[in-house]
């Protein structure tokens, strides 16, 4: 467990996941002013790469699909 105040070593991945969520919200037409500001910031962040964003988008969509399947199976 990471202690409070210690530097994280997965910031690129964490930022890319946030960027992915922002892009998914854009597709859903649900962007907020905060999303727009953060998205523009990430666009110029070297650690946030298309590869990581792409992985995150597929991961988030995959999780949604899995939960949907489980919900249907339980119904």
23 touches other proteins by CB under 8 A: yes
Tokens encoding 46? 């070297």
- Taking the complex as a whole, how short is the minimal distance between the CB of residue 19 and other proteins, in angstroms? 6
CB of 23 to other proteins, least distance (A): 6
Show contacts with other proteins in window 29-48 (CB under 8 A). Answer: 29-33, 35-36, 39-40, 42-44, 48
Residue showing tokens 């070297």: 46
Check binding of 15 to other proteins (CB under 8 A).
Answer: no
For residue 7, give the DSSP letter: P
Using an 8 Å Cβ cutoff, are 12 and 50 in contact? no
């Amino acid at each position: 467990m990471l202690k409070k105040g210690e530097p994280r070593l997965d910031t690129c991945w964490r930022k890319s996941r946030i960027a992915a969520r922002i892009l998914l919200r854009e597709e859903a037409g649900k962007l907020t002013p905060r999303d727009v500001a953060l998205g523009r910031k990430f666009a110029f962040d070297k650690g946030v790469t298309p590869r990581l964003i792409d992985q995150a988008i597929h991961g988030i969509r995959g999780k949604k699909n899995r939960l949907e399947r489980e919900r249907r199976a339980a119904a």
